[in-house]
Amino acid sequence: MKTTDPKWRAAPLAPLLLLSGGLASATELIYEPVNPNFGGNPLNGSYLLSNAQAQDTHEDPDAPEDLYEQPSPLDRFTDSLETRLLNQLLTDVGNGNSGELVTDDFIVQILDNDGVLTVLVTDRNTGDKSEIVVSGLNPTN
């Protein structure tokens, strides 16, 4: 055999490889949870929560921001006009006049009987009536 044969050149290295394998050391595998709820590092909590919220595509149907509907410009104008008319009606009562305001939802009647202010509010949908009586009103002031 030739000494230049590659098998015979590697033969002296074989005992060294066997001895070096015994020098390698290994350690025990230890499981450490990531989630702080299960014993992981508490600093991981905000990171895990932000990742979960970023992936959440579920919409809550009962969320408060979904329950409010912005009133239309016509509704806002109607509310403003009704408020203005009611203020004018109360101003007229202060001058000794009585009056009535009829809207889609309510009928408001204001009467002044010798310093006793009576406001009668009728719900047009249900027919319920509310009466507010304020005494001590002096229309001459």
Asked if residue 38 is part of any domain, the answer here is yes
- 131-136-137-139 Cα dihedral, nearest 10 degrees: 140
Asked if residue 67 is part of any domain, the answer here is no
Domain shared by 77 and 127, yes or no: yes
Q: What is the mean pLDDT of residues 90-112?
A: 80
* Predicted TM-score of the model (pTM): 0.44
Q: What is the mean pLDDT of residues 104-118?
A: 82
pLDDT tens for residues 68-96? 778 888 888 888 888 888 888 777 776 76
Residue 133 CA: distances (Å) to CA of 53, 74, 92: 55, 33, 17
Q: What is the mean pLDDT of residues 129-141?
A: 73
Asked if residue 81 is part of any domain, the answer here is yes
131 has a pLDDT exceeding 70: yes
Asked if residue 65 is part of any domain, the answer here is no
pLDDT of residue 86: 81
Asked if residue 68 is part of any domain, the answer here is no
Domain shared by 123 and 84, yes or no: yes
Q: What is the mean pLDDT of residues 7-16?
A: 63
Domain shared by 46 and 82, yes or no: no
pLDDT band at 55; cut points 50, 70, 90:
very high
Report the distance separating Cα 74 and Cα 40, nearest Å.
57
Share above pLDDT 70 across residues of the chain, in percent, rounded to a whole number: 75
Asked if residue 140 is part of any domain, the answer here is no
26 has a pLDDT exceeding 70: yes
Domain shared by 39 and 89, yes or no: no
Q: What is the mean pLDDT of residues 22-40?
A: 82
Domain shared by 51 and 88, yes or no: no
* Residue 39, CA atoms < 13 Å, CB-side half-sphere: 3
pLDDT of residue 103: 82
Q: How many domains does the chain have?
A: 2
Domain shared by 78 and 126, yes or no: yes
Give the rounded distance of the alpha carbon of 95 from its chain centre.
48
Query: Which residues span the domain enclosing 45?
Result: 6-55
Asked if residue 122 is part of any domain, the answer here is yes
Asked if residue 125 is part of any domain, the answer here is yes
Query: Which of 101, 133, 130 lies closest to 117, judged by CA?
Result: 133
